[in-house]
Amino acid sequence: MVSGQVAQLAPDAAAPLTLAGATKAALAANPASLAARQQLVMAVARVGQAQAGTRYAFSLTSSLGVSNAHVIQPPPSEESFYSLINAVTLPLPIGRKPRLAVAQANAQLAAARATYASAQLALSGQVNAAYYDLLRKQALRVVAVDTLASAKRQGEDAQKRFAAGDVPELDVERAKVPVATAEAGLEQAENAVLVSREALNAVLGRPLDAPMTVAEVDEAVLTATPALGLSIEEVRRRARSGSPDVRAAEASLTAADEGLKLAGTSRDATYSLQASDSRSNDQTAFSRLDSVQAMVTIPLSDGGLASAQKDEARAALAAARAQAETAGRTAEATASAAFRNAQSSVHLIASARVARDIAQTTYDKTGLGYREGLYPLSDVLTAQSALTQAKIAYAQAVYDAATAVAGLENALGVGE
């Protein structure tokens, strides 16, 4: 494990933020997550709208009129009168159209739920990347701090040996180069940490300058990740069966199929009942008339609308079928690549750790030999540079592996 990162963070920050905590915070506050959630709410509302079409809904129509009329057979020969008509209409939700509308809305809701889950996983992936990037930059800052300290110690050793007359003044001057280089490297590392922290805060929906500490990565947890114990075939199978993108595409395919069926109902008859009450003081007509009637409406011609709607629905169905197949293949390919990258990255940690330890031992022994006059300064500087590179490679290996493992779990929908 790369040690020392948490201690380097702002002391006024709260307890270290875990990856799970960061993901939860992002899902609760990130604007993209909130927008995706509202899309799901809209889909639920559309189901309610479709279900309303299967229920009885009354409407009242009321009209009041005043007329002036000439009568053919008087008396009277002319009169003015009022008429009041109240009618209650009840459309009958029978036939296949209301049922198919509900089926389509439910399929669209299933697609929206899967799309929301996909959006959550995508956001989780962004959190993973930003979280481990911050840890990586902090680890590299620790390396930069250690490198600067080592360079300064080496410069002090060279100064002491020069004062004792053991080495030429050139060694003192040469020892200043690593110090200047390390100071510049530390400045870059500090800036990189600030940029990475702002990026993570942005994903979490927090102020960019909000302080935070992030929990360290445990190598043992990385190497024991259950997903790494799966076979490549199992990874691909789980990706295709569990991917929210695949589920969304399949639900969209179902919705498109229902849409095609619904398009075929545009020429279906509609049914309704109507009760009316008419009142008038017209002396030549009924003063009151109550009636009940059943109505059937059959579209005879629509100008080609139904045919065009069916063509559109067939095209939507074909597109949804192709998208479902594409989503399945993409899920398999993504999970397969993530699995191989995670395995390779985890294996590289051990090699990088061995290289770092060897470089540290070499540097320590070379520095001791220099102080005893056994090695020239050039050997010390070479060993110091090799140690710095080995520390950087180890830090990169740890966080590359952490990012790769998180990517694998994301591809398999772990924690969805």
pLDDT attached to residue 303: 82
Provide the CA 10 distance to its chain's centre, in angstroms. Answer: 29
pLDDT attached to residue 187: 96
pLDDT attached to residue 161: 85
Q: Which CATH superfamily is domain 58-92+268-301 in?
A: Outer membrane efflux proteins (OEP) (2.20.200.10)
Taking the model in full, what pTM does it have?
A: 0.75
For the chain, list residues with pLDDT below 70. Answer: 1-14, 414-416
The rounded distance, in Å, linking the Cα atoms of 257 and 260 is 5
Q: Which helix (H) or strand (E) holds 346?
A: helix 305-371
pLDDT attached to residue 416: 52
pLDDT attached to residue 6: 33
CA separation (Å) from 227 to 236, 264, 340, 402, 413? 12, 47, 11, 13, 11
User: Exposure string (b/e) for 184-219, b if CB count within 10 Å is 16 or more?
Assistant: ebbeebeebbeebbbbbbebbbbeeeeebbbbbbeb
pLDDT attached to residue 217: 80
- Which architecture, in CATH terms, is 6-55+94-266+308-411? Up-down Bundle (1.20)
3-state secondary structure (DSSP) of residue 285: coil
User: For the chain, which residues make up each domain, given as ranges?
Assistant: 6-55+94-266+308-411, 58-92+268-301
pLDDT attached to residue 8: 37
Query: What are residue 148's phi and psi, to 5 degrees?
Result: -65, -40
Segments in 164-277 forming alpha helices (H): 169-203, 219-223, 232-242, 244-263
pLDDT attached to residue 360: 94
Query: What are residue 66's phi and psi, to 5 degrees?
Result: -120, 130
Give CA angle at 97 (93, 100), nearest 5°. Answer: 115
What's the pLDDT tens digit per position in 324-371?
Answer: 899 889 999 999 999 999 999 999 999 999 999 999 999 999 989 988
> Same topology for domains 6-55+94-266+308-411 and 58-92+268-301, yes or no?
no
pLDDT attached to residue 14: 56
pLDDT attached to residue 180: 94
